[in-house]
Amino acid sequence: MKILQNQSLLAWNTFHIDVQADIFAEYDNINELCTLLQRYNSLPMLHIGRGSNLLFTNNFNGIILHSNICFYHLNTQTEEEVLLEVGAGVVFDDFIRYAVEHDWGGAENLSYIPGEVGASAVQNIGAYGVEVKDIIHRVFTINRQTLEPRIFTNQECQYAYRDSIFKNEMKNQYIVTSVEFKLTKQPRLSLDYGNLRAALADIAKPDIADVRRTVTAIRQQKLPEVAELGSAGSFFKNPVIDKQHFDELRQLYPTIPHYPAPNGVKIPAAWLIEQCGWKGKTLGGAQVYDKQPLVIVNKNNATPKDIVTLADNISRSIKEKFSISIYPEVNYI
Ligand code: EPU
């Protein structure tokens, strides 16, 4: 276990915001986690993964927890599938590499997403037509107050687009310690998103390693490398509007991109942001990324205020032009 006082969080958020936490603690197992939860029960507490989906707006006057629970355990296997339990502190992309190396399919479309396994199950990360909920079987947690373990089935997690029970009614109540993934030994590739199938066209019979390589290459091309340029990936969620609103917009913008969604029509926020002229625009040190305007980058020592103000200005202009509300995907702390 590692406990540090007055710790800079610069290395712990991909936006590269230089704030401090009163205490930063990293634990290696569930016993250590319970010790920390008990000892620091009275302090404000924030559990982070790699800090790839948050924006620190201030110093954190409390304790930041980070999991170093890193293991792979094959819980069950049949002819068709495996149930693989992975520690919450494992880097998500390392888990995918491990799965692909064993020829277990299902996770490959999520390649190269920053973050860790525990956070993936809270956030329901997604890319290229797959969401992590599609491969999550069970989520192992500890109750912050009672220190009791609790296992959530996939259904109990109430997954939706970038959403789960851990962001709503159970917010701040449970800490994910490991996730059990259901992976298949006879992978069926999921290639229907965007240009994925076209990008694999040269390969006669692509396998999951090809998908992993291709998704990684597309992401590297379109999204900033966080080590070089701070960001938190997509800053906003893609909004869903009702059919009538969509029909009205399509009269005005016949080429408006859109996807079906359970409760309406999903519009790419990147398109809305580009239409409002934001691509490449800066405010202080913050910039709307020129290759993918859904991403805000820390171009030049951006302050949290630069980023928040830029995001607010973007939301406002989209509301004015399209009567659509967009909301941050990034959590403000
Ligand atoms: N678009 C533009 N201009 C651009 C870029 C995109 O108009 O410069 C429009 C195009 O119509 C394009 C559409 O936006 O077809 C969708 O773009 P993209 O495929 O890049 O996906 P996205 O909807 O912008 C989502 C996820 C990403 C994920 C990609 C790929 C959210 C909030 N974001 O972005 O996730 O990688 O799909 O599946 O759902 C993240 O969450 O941090 C993230 C990067």
**Binning pLDDT at 50, 70 and 90, where does residue 297 land?**
very high
Q: Is the CB of 127 under 6 A from ligand 1?
A: yes
Please answer whether residues 139 and 152 qualify as being in contact, where contact means their C-beta atoms are separated by less than 8 angstroms: yes
Residue 27's H or E segment, with its range, is strand 20-27
Contact 298, 231 (CB under 8 A): yes
* Closest C-alpha to 133, from 104, 97, 157: 157
Q: In percent, how much of the chain has pLDDT > 90?
A: 98
Whose Cα sits closest to atom 13 in ligand 1?
268
Please give the Cα distance from 76 to 57 (Å, whole number). 43
Q: What is the pLDDT at residue 275?
A: 98
- Name the closest-CA residue to atom 7, ligand 1: 271
Strands 45-48 and 60-67: parallel
User: What predicted TM-score, i.e. pTM, was given to this entire model?
Assistant: 0.94
pLDDT at residue 158 in the model: 98
Residue 273 confidence (pLDDT) above 90: yes
pLDDT of residue 195: 87
Residue in 234, 253, 297 to alter for ligand 1 test, most ligand atoms within 8 A of Cβ: 234
194 pLDDT more than 90: no
H/E element, 212: helix 208-222
Residue 215, pLDDT score: 97
152 CA → ligand 1 middle, Å = 30
Ligand 1 atom nearest 52 alpha carbon: 42
Is residue 274 part of the annotated active site? The answer reads: no
Residue nearest to atom 6 of ligand 1 (CA): 270
Burial class of residue 10, CB neighbours in 10 A (0-12, 13-18, 19+): middle
Span from the CA of 270 to the centroid of ligand 1 (angstroms) = 6
Question: From start to end of 185-292, where are the E strands?
Answer: 230-234, 240-241, 259-261, 264-266, 282-283, 286-288
Which of 162, 190, 197, 317 is catalytic? The answer is: 162
pLDDT in tens, 101-133: 999 999 999 999 999 999 999 999 999 999 999
Amino acid of residue 173: Q
Whether the per-residue pLDDT at 262 is higher than 90: the answer is: no
The pLDDT-based confidence of 242 (bands split at 50, 70, 90) is very high
Give the distance (Å) from ligand 1 centre to CA of residue 268.
6
The count of C-alpha atoms lying within 13 angstroms of the C-alpha of 156, restricted to the half-sphere facing its C-beta, is: 10
pLDDT at 315 over 90: yes
Distance of CA 34 to the CA centre of its chain: 26
Section 190-205 average pLDDT: 92
- Asked if 116 is an active-site residue, the reply is no
Asked if 81 is an active-site residue, the reply is: no
Instruction: Flag whether pLDDT at 245 surpasses 90.
Output: yes
Tell me if 13 CB under 6 Å of ligand 1: no
Which contiguous run of DSSP H or E holds residue 270?
Answer: helix 269-275
What are 28-51's pLDDT values in tens digits? 999 999 999 999 999 999 999 999
Q: Is the pLDDT of residue 170 over 90?
A: yes
Question: pLDDT tens-digit profile of 204-241?
Answer: 999 999 999 999 999 999 999 988 999 999 999 999 99
pLDDT at 137: 98
